[in-house]
Amino acid sequence: MGAQVRPWDAAGAERAVAVLKAVADPARYRLLWALSGAELPVSALAELLGAHVAATSQHLAKLRAAGLVDSRREGTRIFYRAAEGADVRGLLETALVVGRTAVPGPDVTGAAPAGEPAVARARARTRQALAPKPA
């Protein structure tokens, strides 16, 4: 008996590629890392990156278009947070795990590598996220 192969989900693959493209920039990866733990205004995020507010807003717009961040306005300030339902931290931790087996590169998060329990949790979240959804 062979392993059962799931049917190809072209629309799901397109969404996955859009998410990966959005995260494929070190600045956006860093923004997501910060937003996976807190809600922050654009000014604080720009300071974190050491970038102009306009450039940071451009990155946030790409992350919002990919469905990874949500925003809310409070007066003249706009606050961003990881999108509800999007397992942003799991995505980022999984990328770290995969990155360990790929070509070494800089650690853009500034975080210590995840331990084995975190790796197992990240893999479980990835399997859950990739599982077929009921129709």
With respect to residue 113, please indicate whether it lies within any of the assigned structural domains: yes
Whether 1 is in a domain gets the answer no
Domain carrying residue 63: 10-130
Please check the confidence at residue 51 and state whether its pLDDT lies above 60.
Answer: yes
Contact 82, 92 (CB under 8 A): no
What CATH number has the domain bearing residue 68? 1.10.10.10
Classified as helix, coil or strand, 75 is coil
Q: What residues contact 26, with CB distance under 8 A and at least 6 apart?
A: 106, 108
Question: Is 99 a member of any domain?
Answer: yes
Count of H-run helices and E-run strands, the chain? 6, 3
Q: Give the tokens for residue 16.
A: 């996955």
Number of domains in the chain: 1
Helix axes 42-49, 53-65, angle to 10 degrees: 110
pLDDT tens for each residue of 69-128: 999 999 999 999 999 888 888 888 888 888 888 665 555 544 444 444 555 555 565 555
Residue 3 lies in a domain: no
User: What whole-number percentage of the chain has pLDDT above 70?
Assistant: 73
Q: Kindly state whether residue 86 falls inside one of the protein's structural domains.
A: yes
